[in-house]
Amino acid sequence: MSVLVFIEQRDGKVRPVSREALGLAVRLAPAFGGEVVGVCLAPSDPGLAALGDAGCDRTLLATHASFARYDGVVDAAVVAKAVEQVKPGVVLFANSSLARDLAPRVAARLGVGLASDCTGVTADGGALTATRPVYAGKAVQSVRFPRTPALLSLRPKMFTPMTGAGKAGTVEAFAPGELPASRARVKDVVAQAGGKIDLTESEIIVSGGRGLKGPENFKLVEELAEALGATVGASRAVVDAGWRPHADQVGQTGKTVAPKLYVAVGISGAIQHLAGMSSSRCIVAINKDPDAPIFKVADYGVVGDLFEVVPALTDAVRKLDVHA
């Protein structure tokens, strides 16, 4: 049986998270004794032949003008049709904002279970076990799949994409069939200022909390983020206070993140915040209270006045010229 990967595209480009899913597919394929097959819905080929390098043997490409924008009712029907044709042992999705609707729909359509937002997957003779954080990361659940195919969505940044896989990357036309009538239409997509990367897909995050004392002082966080090439995040306290939009919130009622570097500025470290960022590879905390819980999870802590420490750190990073 093969491993089927949903290849997500936006604006004519394959999204990087789909390469992460392909990376896992390549590792799972031997246990299932099959090939890695992609399925992509797009108005035209978004350069799928290049996915051979990322481990894809072949990709089914369904083309239609309406595939430029996601429509759950339509897209789920097409993906389910591809699953029925390929008969894979596993279907992988990247857990993007698109797949958070698509994957459960496909699961409901096929009548099989879905393990969402997985951070680990092992195959033991074709029997998959997926691990996934629950309670925003306060615990980890292991799940198994009583039926075939097993559907999984993968947390961004947790699976390493392959390069130089040397697979064929053949592109095959896939007839989507008659499309159901559309009842939800994306009218517009408003880009965030500066083309900001989503927190869940960021390599580096600088988050600010109540220690900043007011929304105007977030410029300190923004300047450090700019110097590091990072995305700005926030604690629940400052989002609830209206200083930052909810899209910036890290924690149990916000986003769960796992960047390479997480810098917490003026964040004490409430349990619901720690749950959302504790799987970051390296955590730096800057806080004036040496007893703040954030220091218990921080690899590197600096006790001090953030109004002095943060600008000094920004200066030091700028002098490094990290982008050189």
**Binding flag, residue 225, another protein (CB under 8 A):** no
Binding to another protein, residues 2-61 (CB under 8 A): none
Q: Which is nearer to another protein, 10 or 53 (CB)?
A: 10
> Smallest distance from the beta carbon of 15 to another protein, in angstroms?
8
* Residues facing 5 on adjacent strands: 38, 92
3-state secondary structure of 298: coil
Binding to another protein, residues 126-185 (CB under 8 A): 129, 132-147, 183-185
**Binding flag, residue 316, another protein (CB under 8 A):** yes
Q: Which of 186, 216, 291, 324 forms a contact with another protein (CB under 8 A)? A: 186
C-alpha to C-alpha distance for 324 and 305, rounded to whole angstroms: 30
Q: Which of 73, 120, 148, 179 forms a contact with another protein (CB under 8 A)? A: 73
Non-local (6+) Cβ contacts of 191 within 8 A are none
Polymer length of the chain: 324
Q: Which two tokens stand for residue 228?
A: 């590091």
Q: Which is nearer to another protein, 83 or 136 (CB)?
A: 136
Per the CB < 8 A criterion, the answer to whether 103 and 151 are in contact is yes
Q: Which is nearer to another protein, 65 or 139 (CB)?
A: 139
Q: Which is nearer to another protein, 54 or 150 (CB)?
A: 150
**Binding flag, residue 109, another protein (CB under 8 A):** yes
**Binding flag, residue 253, another protein (CB under 8 A):** yes
Q: Which is nearer to another protein, 5 or 103 (CB)?
A: 103
Per the CB < 8 A criterion, the answer to whether 298 and 318 are in contact is no
Q: For residue 163, which of 56, 14, 53 has the smallest C-alpha distance?
A: 53
Choices 44-52, 56-64, 67-75, 157-165; region in contact with another protein by CB under 8 A: 67-75
Could you tell me how many residues of this chain bind another protein (CB under 8 A)?
A: 98
> Cis link prior to 156 (omega < 30° from 0)?
no
Q: For residue 296, which of 323, 266, 270 has the smallest C-alpha distance?
A: 270
**Binding flag, residue 296, another protein (CB under 8 A):** yes
Q: Which is nearer to another protein, 256 or 268 (CB)?
A: 256
User: In whole angstroms, how far apart are CA 176 and each of 110, 179, 234?
Assistant: 17, 7, 42
**Binding flag, residue 89, another protein (CB under 8 A):** no
